[in-house]
Amino acid sequence: MKVVCAWCNKTLSSGLPDDPVSHGVCPDCAAKLAPTRRGTLQQLLDHMRQPAIAVDAKISAMCMNQAAQKTFGAGGHLIQGKLIGDIIECAHASRPEGCGRTVHCSGCTIRRMATATFQDGQARCSVEAEQLVRGADGIAAVRYSISTQKVADAVLIIIEDLKSVATSAPFAEEPVGA
């Protein structure tokens, strides 16, 4: 995977000649963009081709780009303050406890990556994550390749790849309070 800075186009990781291009933010631009306003964050995300969502320390959304709006079918202004699980339609987020509070959430790769990047400021690149999501035809498994990066007081969740996979273990609705 070739990675270039979405703000200044500097190459961050060259990859192989035929590799698909993904976007990140170089350390210089990340520093320049801090402290950043929401408008700047939105502009930065709009430079990225992949779906990208900026979240705050509670892993709730600040803004997202058009690719993310298309992928997750959410209006840009409607997602502000929504938790990540509600945006990607995580099957567990629909439980009464909500995103981040179910027994499954400690194993959530997206949440763990974003939290870790908040804590140490280090980017995580192209990590594979599998998630059960609610789709039109019920629960389906989706495999993501995700990068996280800290910019100012936000963490960007960049979705480099996303494909539906067959569920090996069917999703069982556990009784509430069990």
**Positions that interact with Zn ion (CB under 5 A):** 5, 7-8, 10, 26, 29
Is there a cis peptide before residue 17, judged by omega within 30 degrees of 0?
no
Residue 47 vs 101, nearer CB to Zn ion: 47
- 8 versus 78: smaller Cβ distance to Zn ion: 8
For residue 71, CA distances in Å to 21, 45, 67 come to: 18, 14, 6
Alpha carbon distance 160, 22 (integer Å): 7
Could you identify the residue written with the tokens 């700047």?
40
Q: Is 151 left (phi over 0), alpha (psi -120 to 50) or beta?
A: beta
Residue 63: CB minimum distance to Zn ion, A: 19
Nearer to Zn ion, 48 or 108 (CB): 48
Q: Closest approach of Cβ 118 to Zn ion, in Å? A: 21
Nearest approach, Cβ of 69 to Zn ion (angstroms)?
A: 24
Cβ proximity to Zn ion: between 10 and 134 the closer is 10
Q: Could you tell me the smallest distance in angstroms from the CB atom of residue 27 to Zn ion?
A: 8
Q: Are 35 and 51 in contact (CB under 8 A)?
A: no
